[in-house]
Amino acid sequence: MNGRLEEADTDADADTDPDTDTDTDADTDADADDTGSAAIDGDSDGVMADDDCDDDDASLGAISEDADCDGVLSADDCDDSDSGSTARDVDADCDGVLAWHDCDDFDTSLGAISGDADCDGVLAADDCDDDDRESTVITGEKIMTSRSPSFLYTG
């Protein structure tokens, strides 16, 4: 005895408390925390249901570690409030262009190769020759080289 009055165990389980669960505290759940509500981890991933992204999917963990619940931890997620955003391991500069399609995956000013084949920072629609990084750019009535800020007037 622990010095307090205890009710007689009148149920059929093997513990010493009067409820029908198998723990030794006198509440209505099967855990020992005296809260009266069971700690639930449906997918057995170690994350309780209240903090689990999906308690039926063990591959998805805690909301506190993956706010958008896309399976990418917050530290590795480009935008942890958007489940459709990219992850840093495939988009280092987080510009939305995957590394193998990006002109320079460490420079957000350079986007997809599909829009700028020579990766000079000038989109194909504005580039005189999108296969030549040194080609000129047409902007209205002005022509400028892609590496020079000076303008040449055409008319």
Closest CA to 31 of 44, 41, 21: 21
136 versus 145: the higher-pLDDT residue is 136
Q: Give the pLDDT of residue 46.
A: 78
| Contact yes or no for 18/7 (Cβ under 8 A) | yes
52 versus 147: the higher-pLDDT residue is 52
Question: Is the pLDDT score of 95 beyond 80?
Answer: yes
Please state the rounded mean pLDDT for residues 74-96: 95
Question: Is the pLDDT score of 49 beyond 60?
Answer: yes
Please state the rounded mean pLDDT for residues 20-47: 61
Q: Is 72 exposed, middle or buried (0-12, 13-18, 19+ CB in 10 A)?
A: buried
Which pTM was predicted?
0.55
150 versus 55: the higher-pLDDT residue is 55
